[in-house]
Amino acid sequence: MTAFSRIQKILIKVKDDPQATKLIEGVFSAALRYVTEVYTQSTTLALKRTTSDATEIGPLATRLDQNRTIAHNALIDSIKICNRYLFTKFGPEVIPVGGIYSSDPTHFTSNAYRSHIGDWAGSLVEEVFSNRVR
């Protein structure tokens, strides 16, 4: 099941709970912020490498990486907070294993899996964009 379709199915089940919908909206926002930071880092550094000398790039790369890490941590926290609320309020009878996170929930057990959570965010944002009203 895709990231967006899973969230849509959960939203149908929790639509009458304003706190649940607010937390899910927060996950969407955190995913977009993370993807935006990845995009900003990649494009800014690509442009700077062609227009600046190497001594200017180091501090910029450090700052951009810090911004991306902050956004990534916020994404992980928002998923954990949302899932904790959903499981506490609705239980595993209503909320599937992993909660709103449609990939392997063991990704939250170790920092070694951080990139998988970032990939999930990218997939979510891409899927929302692909399904936009045209």
Neighbours of 63 (CB within 10 A): 12
DSSP letter string over 34-87?
A: HHHHHHHHHHHHHHHHHHS-HHHHHHHHHHHHHHHHHHHHHHHHHHHHHHHHHH
**pLDDT, the chain, mean:** 95
pLDDT tens, position by position, 22-42:
999 999 999 999 999 999 999
Domain that includes residue 30, residue range = 3-130
- Closest residue by Cα to residue 69 from 77, 57, 79: 77
pLDDT tens, position by position, 62-88:
999 999 999 999 999 999 999 999 999
Residue 30 to residue 51: CA distance in whole angstroms: 31
Q: Token pair 């180091």 is at which residue? A: 58
Cβ distance 126 to 39 under 8 Å? no
Total tally of structural domains belonging to the chain: 1
Instruction: Provide the CATH number for the domain around residue 31.
Output: 1.10.287.800
